[in-house]
Structure 1
Amino acid sequence: MSAALASRRQFLTLLGISAAAVGCGTATAGGAGSREQVTTLKYQGSVGAVTLPELAADLGHLGNLELEWVGNTISGPQDIQSAATGQIHFGGAFNGAVVKLAASKAPIKAVISYYGADRHAYSGYYVLEDSPVRSARDLVGKKVGMNTLGAHAQAVLEMYLSRNGLSKADAAGVESLVVPPVNTEQALRQKQIEVGVLGGVLRDKALAGGGIRPLFTDFELLGAFSAGSYVMTERFIEQNPDTVRTFVTGVAKAIEWSRTTPREQVIARMTDIVTRRGRNEDTSTLKYWQSYGVAETGGRISDKEFQIWLDWLGERGETKKGQLKASDLYTNEFNGYGKG
């Protein structure tokens, strides 16, 4: 077995996806030769939160499309591999994870941005108020809790360490651990970890409790940017273009609705959605919601949102430099927001 093939198989194993499954592009698409397009989209949600597609559906922006919830996930890489293998019709992940999956020859395409960092929506790397950790070098030998490995939180952490002068050997001494987001604050306060990555409503809830401070944030490190995209298989897009157009445009409208509607009204709508869907979820954290953080109008994607991670993965040796072009990883063709 060649080194390149071994590396690819190791990566696919980490994502929990077989090379055979990826190669098939098995997303349900109404059957070969069928003229009917899929109108019920399977997806994974997030506990106690309202995803943009869920918001779009509630606002009536998905037309005749229906969403079928099949469970929840806290892992972007898991979500997009589920989309790549046809278990769900769309999945969302950090753009670096999308690059990795595309580099493994998975037949996927990003269709719209769905989260990012701005002055309201960001991920912070928090320590206890009296923690001795005050610099990147202080992290050596420490545990950092995050939602999943190989995705946004770990990538930003590694960028922070590199930009602050740590060698690869020193950076290897910083231990990244998987901690479910709903448990991160508790793990930090109980000193099971020295640093906890917190974002969104869970971050603001933890801050309201006091006693913690940020070491740094992704917004401070990188500025405002769209960080993740929803992806679909190329086969599904080809066989269901009208469905994809309705979905993407509907999500784009939901993004802009959340920007232009008074925050209190957005929170009230989200609270109503979570209450009505009956999944026995806590709605108390929704009052801390401020923004989805999507940078571009209507969630349109640009090269820069993938190029930064192409460069980063190339430097780490996880992808070959020049193997992929940013423009090949996404399409704005189906985003009709603002097109008349």
Structure 2
Amino acid sequence: MPAALAPTSTSRRQFLTLLGISAAAVSCGTATATGGSGRTGSQVTTLKYQGAASSVTLPELAADLGHLGDLTLEWVGNTISGPQDIQSAATGQTHFGSAFNGAVIKLAAGKASIKAVISSYGVDRFSYGGYCVLEDSPIRTARDLIGKKVGMNTLGAHYQALLDIYLSRGGLSKADAGKVEPLVVPPVNTEQTLRQKQIDVGVLTGVLRDKALAAGGIRPLFSDFDLLGAFSAGTYVMTQRFIKENPDTVRTFTTGVAKAIEWSRTTPREEVIARMAEIIKKRGRNEDTSTLRYWRSYGVAETGGRIEDKEFQLWLDWLAERGEIKAGRLKASDLYTNEFNGYGKG
């Protein structure tokens, strides 16, 4: 069955408002991830997290490779939304979450006490978001999108930001760009929803993109790689309180994820895919592993997932230009730390 489409009243001026968490909401959130069981001495060693169906996250890969030392991961469910994932971390429901860096900025602007510790995903020639249309669609340029529906996994995150950049570079005024309608469609339903013409453009990524293109009848309009080239797009974040109280845990986690990033880069692709298939089968969640054959890369740009100012500054400038945040209120260097990433130090 096709996915039910989200309400259409969300305007472009409400970019990222799905992340509108007040400071009170954060401070009063469930604190289960900041204490309790799973401790060695005074530091937490069992990390709660959200995963993704039929795929392997970098922390899951790091754990299976033995790079997390005495840390264990406790899966609490799956998410398809970066903003929701980091909200769960900010409110103490999980210990870490991953999202688009623009969403991290918006959450920090809402006075959530969080900090990015390592890049979690990115864009390269293998790993990118393709904005796809039907083969016979008349849509060829940004201007052709006026009045059209664009399906993506969540609003107020990576793919809405890149859509806005595409429209701007295509010469659309803010008024015309506002006539392009972004809608939420779960990734697993995007291909079907596009083929049934319930949307005009669908964002397809990774294995879902390659599988859809291989089936025919769909062509790419543009991609985030076309627009910006290779870049790290998202990060894993933790609360500053958790980082302060658990520095050894954060160091082990971050360095372990960094090692997993480099292992995935330097290991033959077939071996990486086989390892991922084993991980998925061992966790026993009744998931399909057939799409793993399309996996190419996590897309993280920098060695060991180390974070650079430019990965936040681009979105700081863009959000300020849109009036979503006050210019100069946040500094890129205040949003992240590489202190705990021991990969390649020295």
Instruction: Report TM bin, short chain.
Output: over 0.9
Distance (whole Å) between structure 2 residues aligned to residue 216 and residue 27 of structure 1: 42
Is 1:30 aligned to residue 35 of structure 2?
yes
Quote the residue 1:7 is aligned against: none
Quote the residue 2:25 is aligned against: 21
Is 1:163 aligned to residue 166 of structure 2?
no
Distance (whole Å) between structure 1 residues aligned to residue 16 and residue 58 of structure 2: 28
Please report how far the alpha carbon of residue 27 of structure 1 lies from its aligned counterpart in structure 2 after TM superposition. Answer: 6.5
**Conserved? CA contact 2:122–2:298, under 8 Å:** yes
Distance (whole Å) between structure 2 residues aligned to residue 330 and residue 324 of structure 1: 11
Residue identity (%): 81
Note closer, same or farther for the CA distance 1:143–1:201 as it changes in structure 2 (3 Å cut).
same
Q: Deviations over 1:136-157 (max 9, x none)?
A: 0000111100000000000000
2:335 to 324, 329, 334: 329
Quote the residue 1:278 is aligned against: 284
Distance (whole Å) between structure 2 residues aligned to residue 156 and residue 256 of structure 1: 27
Distance (whole Å) between structure 2 residues aligned to residue 215 and residue 11 of structure 1: 23
1:266 to 264, 267, 272: 272
Please report how far the alpha carbon of residue 11 of structure 1 lies from its aligned counterpart in structure 2 after TM superposition. Answer: 8.8
Please report how far the alpha carbon of residue 194 of structure 1 lies from its aligned counterpart in structure 2 after TM superposition. Answer: 0.7
Quote the residue 1:121 is aligned against: 127
Quote the residue 2:53 is aligned against: 47
Distance (whole Å) between structure 1 residues aligned to residue 291 and residue 242 of structure 2: 35
Quote the residue 2:11 is aligned against: none
Quote the residue 2:297 is aligned against: 291
Distance (whole Å) between structure 2 residues aligned to residue 125 and residue 22 of structure 1: 34
Length, aligned pairs only: 329
Is 1:199 aligned to residue 211 of structure 2?
no
Task: Name the SS of the counterpart of 1:124 in structure 2.
Answer: strand
Distance (whole Å) between structure 2 residues aligned to residue 261 and residue 285 of structure 1: 19
Any stretches of 5+ residues in structure 1 without a counterpart?
1-9
Distance (whole Å) between structure 2 residues aligned to residue 56 and residue 250 of structure 1: 6
Note closer, same or farther for the CA distance 1:27–1:166 as it changes in structure 2 (3 Å cut).
farther
Please report how far the alpha carbon of residue 23 of structure 1 lies from its aligned counterpart in structure 2 after TM superposition. Answer: 3.4
Any stretches of 5+ residues in structure 2 without a counterpart?
1-13
Quote the residue 1:70 is aligned against: 76
Distance (whole Å) between structure 2 residues aligned to residue 37 and residue 12 of structure 1: 34
Please report how far the alpha carbon of residue 66 of structure 1 lies from its aligned counterpart in structure 2 after TM superposition. Answer: 0.2
What TM-score comes out, normalization by structure 2 length? Answer: 0.92
Please report how far the alpha carbon of residue 190 of structure 1 lies from its aligned counterpart in structure 2 after TM superposition. Answer: 1.0
**Conserved? CA contact 1:12–1:104, under 8 Å:** no
Please report how far the alpha carbon of residue 163 of structure 1 lies from its aligned counterpart in structure 2 after TM superposition. Answer: 1.1
**Conserved? CA contact 1:16–1:78, under 8 Å:** no
Please report how far the alpha carbon of residue 241 of structure 1 lies from its aligned counterpart in structure 2 after TM superposition. Answer: 0.2
Is 1:135 aligned to residue 128 of structure 2?
no
Q: CA RMSD in A?
A: 1.6
Write out aligned runs for 1:178-257 (5 A).
Answer: 178-257=184-263
Give the stretch that moved more between structures: 248-257 or 275-284: 275-284
Task: Name the SS of the counterpart of 1:268 in structure 2.
Answer: helix
What TM-score comes out, normalization by structure 1 length? Answer: 0.94
